[in-house]
Amino acid sequence: MSKPKIVVLGAGYAGMMTTKRLTQKLRPEEAELVLVNKHNYHYQTTWLHQVAAGTVNQNQARMMISDVINPNRVNLIYDEVVEVKKEENRVVLKNSEITYDYLVISLGFETNTFGIKGMEKNAFSITDIESSRMIREHIEYQFAKYSTAEKPNEDDLAILVGGGGFTGIEFVGELAEKVPELCKKYDIDRSKVRIINVEAAPRIMPGFDDELVAYAKRSLEDRGVEFREGAKINECKKNSFVIGDDNEEIKAGTIVWTGGVTGSSILSKSGFEITKGKVTVDGDMRAPGEENIFILGDCAWVMNEAEGKPFPPTAQAAMQHAETCSDNLKALLHHEPMKKFVFDDKGTVASLGETDAMGTVFNDNKLYGKPAVSMKKVVDNRYLFLLGGPKLILKKGKLRML
């Protein structure tokens, strides 16, 4: 009898950890494992703001999938998922197709511009290694252009960041570190460069603790970041945002949108029932009504029943989804009962550049400054450890200032 075939779509936090755990929990004769991903490398999405600012090299933020997932055990397919034909247990890829007995969809997020006029066309977004690398190169080009122009335009040096959520704030933190370095390199006075964060809500980082947000804002303002809070972006033009009731125009040479994400569009294309771009999964992480399809990470809405709203999409949650999913796949193969996903909130730390950070850990204990910076690195390195052991930490880890 042939082995059941488990296909995992997307090699991000959820897909990598699910695949890794399945290789540990199942014997080779128990199941055939397949991992499909767009690229032959895996990147840490949580480091992309650093790649975009140029404070972390893109190669440190990624690794070859075959270096951490044994290709003799898992069939690695590097191709783009186009659609899931769930009635036929089949996945259409750009260059081929594949059948499955069990499917794990962990295709991550896509940018959501909420229909803001011109945003999709005129702003960069931090979505993957390539889009992040383009931002870094564009910023550096603006500095080079300014330093060699006959009539330099200071607007070219301004960097506008739309969205003051977690990603937007971490990104301006990296920019605050990178800009002085670029000014030195291109012999430009730091005071000529503006980093402006625009947030529609009354304050940045909505939902985050007031004291922590006040700390972050002070730290970033001290390093030259400007905030425009309660400022709705009406339009994104080629080189500006138009904001607020009076349609004020703020010009910049670089515009980055970090204000919203949604689940992969493959979900709706494949006929899943969608809520705000994601699938509200059952307690065991399966799609409602689907016996053999699990949906994880940023593609899944997992309800926080105590608060009556979904948990926020995080790498921490994606990795925990992977644990439940791999246990439940094993349970299905062994005809045992499946377990319910329970989120274990270990806290959240936001970096404010290389030298500062803030957040909460274990039961809402607040951390600021150096201890928070170290904790952020411990979190990043812990993931590398879970994926590839100490060897991977030594190769790709953040070891400075630990």
User: Catalytic residues, which ones?
Assistant: 170
As a dihedral over the C-alpha atoms of residue 213, residue 214, residue 216, residue 220, rounded to 10 degrees, the angle is 140
Q: How far is 196 from 218, CA to CA, in rounded Å?
A: 14
Strand partners, 241: 236, 250
* Residue placing its CB nearer to ligand FAD in the complex, 146 or 208: 208
Shortest distance in whole angstroms from residue 4 CB to ligand FAD: 22
Q: How far is 54 from 52, CA to CA, in rounded Å?
A: 5
Q: How far is 113 from 161, CA to CA, in rounded Å?
A: 13
Shortest distance in whole angstroms from residue 41 CB to ligand FAD: 8
CB atoms under 10 Å from CB of 271, counted, come to 12
Shortest distance in whole angstroms from residue 56 CB to ligand FAD: 11
By Cβ distance, which residue is nearest to ligand FAD? 12
Is residue 87 within 8 Å of residue 236, measured between CB atoms? no
* Residue placing its CB nearer to ligand FAD in the complex, 109 or 124: 109
Helix (H, G, I), strand (E, B) or coil at 299: helix
Helix (H, G, I), strand (E, B) or coil at 253: coil
Q: How far is 17 from 283, CA to CA, in rounded Å?
A: 19
Shortest distance in whole angstroms from residue 12 CB to ligand FAD: 2
Beta 248-251 vs 124-125: how paired, if at all?
unpaired
Work out the widest C-alpha separation in the chain, in whole angstroms: 75
Q: Which residues contact 59 (CB under 8 A, 6 or more apart)?
A: none
* Residue placing its CB nearer to ligand FAD in the complex, 240 or 264: 264
* Residue placing its CB nearer to ligand FAD in the complex, 188 or 318: 318
* Residue placing its CB nearer to ligand FAD in the complex, 219 or 316: 316
Residue type, 358: M
Is residue 67 within 8 Å of residue 388, measured between CB atoms? yes
Shortest distance in whole angstroms from residue 318 CB to ligand FAD: 4
Shortest distance in whole angstroms from residue 310 CB to ligand FAD: 12
Beta 309-310 vs 300-301: how paired, if at all?
unpaired
* Residue placing its CB nearer to ligand FAD in the complex, 236 or 302: 302
Point out which residues bind ligand FAD (CB under 6 A). Answer: 10-15, 36-39, 45-46, 48-49, 80-81, 106-109, 126, 128, 167, 170, 264, 266, 297-298, 313-316, 318
